[in-house]
Amino acid sequence: MMSSSLASSTNQRLDAARRLLVQSQQEEGEWLMNSYESSAVFQLRSGLNGLLQEVMASYNLSCQVDIDVMVRASEERGIAVPVLLELMQLKSSRQSWLSQLLDTFDAALECRAANQAYSAAGNVELIGRGSDAGSSTKHILSSLTELVLRFREDAAEY
């Protein structure tokens, strides 16, 4: 029952992000569009945390909801958690959707311009900038949703 509740919470966050992105496309003012998109980024980050909580419950990990900490905890127990290993690879790649999500969320949280988060990244499309009409954020939503579904499918097999 616990994992069902965790899955439901993750689903709600992903659905909220999707709805906010749809709403952002219906707005005329750029400031409001950016506001919806920033809210979607918050929901996506929360959805990532929801996935991590599902992983913790499935693998009986007792640690912080943090990718690095969870990988160390699983290694200490001698178990390989494929979704955590994939997240570590994504996190280490500056061009990945996960790095973009984490950087954009941090920039919004710290009240700094999102492009400062990418000053060393070159031609990376920025999330929340408004110039890509939400397509980067939609890509993150799609990628995170796919990862959640794959994790649940793999977990159901065991």
Q: Percent of the chain having pLDDT more than 70?
A: 84
Q: How far apart are CA 33 and CA 133, in angstroms?
A: 9
Tens of pLDDT along 79-122? 999 999 999 999 999 999 999 999 999 998 888 776 533 433 44
Distance CA 116, CA 130 (A): 15
Using CA atoms, how far apart are residues 82 and 66, in angstroms rounded to an integer? 15
- pTM of the predicted structure, to 2 decimals: 0.84
Model pLDDT, residue 29: 82
Residue 125, pLDDT score: 43
Predicted local confidence at residue 30, as pLDDT: 83
Which pLDDT band holds residue 157 (cuts at 50, 70, 90)? Answer: confident
What does the pLDDT read at residue 2? 55
For residues 55 and 70, is the Cβ–Cβ distance under 8 A? yes
Residue 130 has what pLDDT? 44
Please say whether the beta carbons of 53 and 81 come within 8 A.
Answer: no
User: Considering only CA atoms, which of 101, 114, 107 is closest in space to residue 47?
Assistant: 101
**Pairwise CA distance, residues 65 & 51, whole Å:** 10
Q: Residue 75: pLDDT band by 50, 70, 90 thresholds?
A: very high
pLDDT value, residue 1: 43
Using DSSP, state whether 60 is helix, strand or coil. Answer: coil
| pLDDT tens digits along 130-143 | 446 568 999 999 99
Q: Contact 116/103 with Cβ under 8 angstroms?
A: no
pLDDT value of residue 71: 97
- The answer, yes or no, to whether residue 148 has pLDDT greater than 90, is yes
Query: DSSP code of 126?
Result: P
